[in-house]
């Protein structure tokens, strides 16, 4: 009977991947397959319990909802656009070096705007035309911006970080400190590989101006003059959290920052934005709650759905089998924690489902497998992020390809090398 349930679980996993490739809504695929697995195992209540338990995890809800609320406030006040304009304006007329510079600028902005699609749209609308006008091939211009969005993994509001915090009991600042070597190492490798690919494909043609395919930007979206105060607003929560986690909080007037969590920092950022931008408080409040609702539906919804899918695997006994096998074959944990999320993200265009499911199923048992929970969880999350840049169906990839007027496959040709090398380094060196 155990063999039958194992086969069912394998077929269920294949079904999830197939449904995601077919662009079935992620939550529907995970919940549907998870519930069917529980039914087959005659344990339907396990799926329902997993769903309701995941609905009320305080650490996840506070950090993720508040961060998305703050992101909506930055969007409605156009502070995010001022930040992008402020950082991209000095990049004119630096030629070939625009490629690594564009990557670094996007990487930094992504920490404040962690959504890959949102960051790609905000930064790409400005940077991609700038790169193309400077002689950078459209596909490379799009690739530099797309890969730069990996900086979002260091955002205190990213869902993976909140989940690892919930699993390990460590605070989010501690998780980010562990994730930083992964992100910076991968960032350097990917940035260098982009430069190498640019040389191989001859993507820089001095003096040539590539035409921008999509110039239908709304007039009101254009920022003619940067307001420095507005540009600094997206960084307010980050600064507060950094001070609270650093020795600077020892100063009496900064002591309060040590007690500030991610949610509180985001709320403070929204309040400061009211004063700095003179936006009506009711507008800020409305957008903050709109963002909170959106995050619960879209981000926490995926975590809930992943929990149901994992419950289905547990009901079939496959999780116990895997954990027991990994205890005896611990050297395979680094493969499972890196290459499986990486490959699933490549195939499905989203690393969330694979990373969430793996972390909920395996990372909680990391200590029994000879690994630190935070270290394994961050490696899983980073590998999933890298994997999505090899997928032509990634939403952010489609956005930058539309701005640049190139095929997503042309972008993947340029992103693949660095991402593959990065996941190998994370698996064999950093984990």
Q: From CA 153, how far away is CA 160, in angstroms rounded?
A: 8
All structural domains of the chain with their residue ranges:
2-430
Q: From CA 332, how far away is CA 410, in angstroms rounded?
A: 33
Output helix, strand, coil percentages for the chain, rounded to the nearest 5: 80, 0, 20
pLDDT at 6: 86
pLDDT at 191: 97
pLDDT tens for 160-192 read: 898 899 899 898 889 999 999 999 999 999 999
In terms of Cα–Cα distance, which of 183, 178, 176, 118 is closest to 145? 118
Q: Which regions of the chain are under pLDDT 70? A: 59, 212-222
Reduce the secondary structure of 151-162 to three states and give it as a string.
Answer: HHHHCCCCHHHH
Residue 204, strand partner residues: 136
pLDDT at 220: 47
Q: From CA 420, how far away is CA 416, in angstroms rounded?
A: 6
Rg, C-alpha atoms of the chain: 22
pLDDT at 213: 57
Q: From CA 377, how far away is CA 113, in angstroms rounded?
A: 22
pLDDT at 149: 95
pLDDT at 61: 85
pLDDT at 44: 93
The answer to whether 148 and 191 are in contact (CB under 8 A) is no
Query: For residue 330, what are the CA distances in angstroms to 211, 263, 335, 336, 384?
Result: 53, 37, 10, 10, 21
User: 10 Å Cβ neighbour count for 280?
Assistant: 10
* pTM of this structure: 0.82
In terms of Cα–Cα distance, which of 338, 344, 339, 345 is closest to 375? 338
Q: Helices (DSSP H) in 316-404: which residue ranges?
A: 318-328, 333-348, 352-361, 373-388, 395-404
User: 10 Å Cβ neighbour count for 187?
Assistant: 21
Q: From CA 33, how far away is CA 12, in angstroms rounded?
A: 6
Structure tokens at 294: 């959106």
pLDDT at 13: 86
pLDDT at 219: 45
In terms of Cα–Cα distance, which of 161, 123, 224, 188 is closest to 418? 188
């Amino acid at each position: 009977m155990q063999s039958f349930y194992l086969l069912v679980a394998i077929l269920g996993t294949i079904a999830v991947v197939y449904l995601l490739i077919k662009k079935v809504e992620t939550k529907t695929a995970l919940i549907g397959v998870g519930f069917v697995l529980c039914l087959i195992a005659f344990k339907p209540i396990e799926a329902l319990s997993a769903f309701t338990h995941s609905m009320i995890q305080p650490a996840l809800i506070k950090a993720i909802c508040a961060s998305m609320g703050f992101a909506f406030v930055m969007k409605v006040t156009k502070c995010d656009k001022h930040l992008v304009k402020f950082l991209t304006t000095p990049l004119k007329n630096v030629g070939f070096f625009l490629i690594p510079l564009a990557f670094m600028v996007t990487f930094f902005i992504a920490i404040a705007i962690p959504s890959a699609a949102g960051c790609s749209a905000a930064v790409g609308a400005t940077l991609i035309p700038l790169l193309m006008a400077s002689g950078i091939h459209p596909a490379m211009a799009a690739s530099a911006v797309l890969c730069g969005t990996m900086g979002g993994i260091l955002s205190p509001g990213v869902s993976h970080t909140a989940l690892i915090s919930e699993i390990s009991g460590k605070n989010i600042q501690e998780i980010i400190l562990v994730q930083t070597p992964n992100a910076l190492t991968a960032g350097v490798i990917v940035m260098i590989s982009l430069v190498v690919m640019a040389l191989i494909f001859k993507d820089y043609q001095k003096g040539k101006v590539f035409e921008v395919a999509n110039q239908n930007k709304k007039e009101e979206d254009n920022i003619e003059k940067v307001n420095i105060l507005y540009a600094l607003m997206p960084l307010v929560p980050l600064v507060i959290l950094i001070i609270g986690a650093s020795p600077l909080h020892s100063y009496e007037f900064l002591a309060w920052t040590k007690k500030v969590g991610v949610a509180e920092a985001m709320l403070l950022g929204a309040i400061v934005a009211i004063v700095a931008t003179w936006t009506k408080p009711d507008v800020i409040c409305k957008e903050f709650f709109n963002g909170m609702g959106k995050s619960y539906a879209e981000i926490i919804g995926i975590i809930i759905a992943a929990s149901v899918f994992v419950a289905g695997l547990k009901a079939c006994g496959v999780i116990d089998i895997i954990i027991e096998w990994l205890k005896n074959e611990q050297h395979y944990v680094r493969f499972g924690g890196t290459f499986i999320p990486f490959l699933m993200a490549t195939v499905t265009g989203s690393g969330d489902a694979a990373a969430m499911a793996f972390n909920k199923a395996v990372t909680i048992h990391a200590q029994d497998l000879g690994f630190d929970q935070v270290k394994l969880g961050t490696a899983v999350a980073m590998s999933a992020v890298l994997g999505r840049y090899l997928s032509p169906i990634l939403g952010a990839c489609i956005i930058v390809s539309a701005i640049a007027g190139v095929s997503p496959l042309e972008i993947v040709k340029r992103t693949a090398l660095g991402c593959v090398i990065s996941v190998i380094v994370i698996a064999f060196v950093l984990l």
